[in-house]
Amino acid sequence: MRAPLSWLRDFAPFPGDIGALRDALDDLGLVVEAVEHVGEGLGDVVVSRVLEISAIKGKDRIRRVVVDAGRGEPLEIVCGAQNFAVGDRVPLAPVGAILPGGFEITARPMGGVVSNGMLCSGRELGLSDDGEGLLVLGDEAPGEPGTPLTEAFGLEPDTVFDITVEGNRPDAWCIAGIARDLAARLDLPYSAPEPSEPAASGRPVEAVATAAVTSRDLCPRLTV
């Protein structure tokens, strides 16, 4: 189970000493297989919008891409990904940015075109395992060109514990259970957060969702 520290802190005021937290989890039998730091190294990455895509003579695997990065003048970028189109919003690491892992972005001539930055995949940003194409931003990530990616995604640096929870520990099959045991181990106050009130849609429930039995052989009765 992956347990972000920010989620655990919804239940108890856990300290920032990652080594101490890992040791405490191990002592509880909740063995930490790995610790991952996410959301770091993204401070310079911004939202950009693709304005043009064109071929580079003699190059089949890379293309010239012109993007609006919210800086006035459009930027030329050389990119090998194929999964985006004009009008898409994609993450841009400008020249001088340092990505997760200490990778520094520099201006590089490629195929006779100077690439003034790098358009990024989710894997290059440490946000996913997908490195086959760019991270194309959908409606869930608002922001005009130039908006910091951390702002568009609402990201803050976090630590994720990859915990092995054995079959005989159903008490720790959820974040609340892990937080409860860890808080008790560290003698910290534990409390479950109050759920927020659902937003009222102004529509009757039956207009939003319905349920009915369509096969009595498979489901002879439906109760609410």
> In this predicted model, what pLDDT tens digit does every residue of 154-192 receive, in sequence order?
888 899 999 999 989 999 999 999 999 999 999 999 999
Distance, C-alpha 20 to centroid of its chain: 26
Short-list 156, 39, 41, CA closest to 100 = 41
Asked whether 141 and 88 are in contact (CB, 8 A), the reply is no
- The tokens describing 37, both together, are 């730091």
CATH number attached to the domain at 46-153: 2.40.50.140
pLDDT tens digits for range 110-128:
888 999 999 999 999 988 8
What pLDDT sits at residue 141?
82
CA distance 191 to 180: 8
The predicted pLDDT at position 8 comes to: 97
The three-state DSSP-derived secondary structure of 149-162 is HHHHHCCCCEEEEE
**In which residue ranges of the chain is pLDDT below 70?**
199-201
User: How is residue 7 written in tokens?
Assistant: 């989620």
Check residue 72 and give its pLDDT. 85
Q: Is the pTM of this model over 0.75?
A: no
List the chain domain ranges. 2-39+157-186, 46-153
pLDDT at 26: 96
Report the CATH fold assignment for 2-39+157-186. Answer: Phenylalanyl-tRNA Synthetase; Chain B, domain 1 (3.30.56)
> What pLDDT, on a 0 to 100 scale, did the predictor assign at position 126?
85
In this chain, the answer to whether the domains covering 2-39+157-186 and 46-153 adopt an identical fold is: no
Sign, CA dihedral 92-95-98-99, equals positive
Q: Is 18 exposed, middle or buried (0-12, 13-18, 19+ CB in 10 A)?
A: middle
pLDDT of residue 201: 65
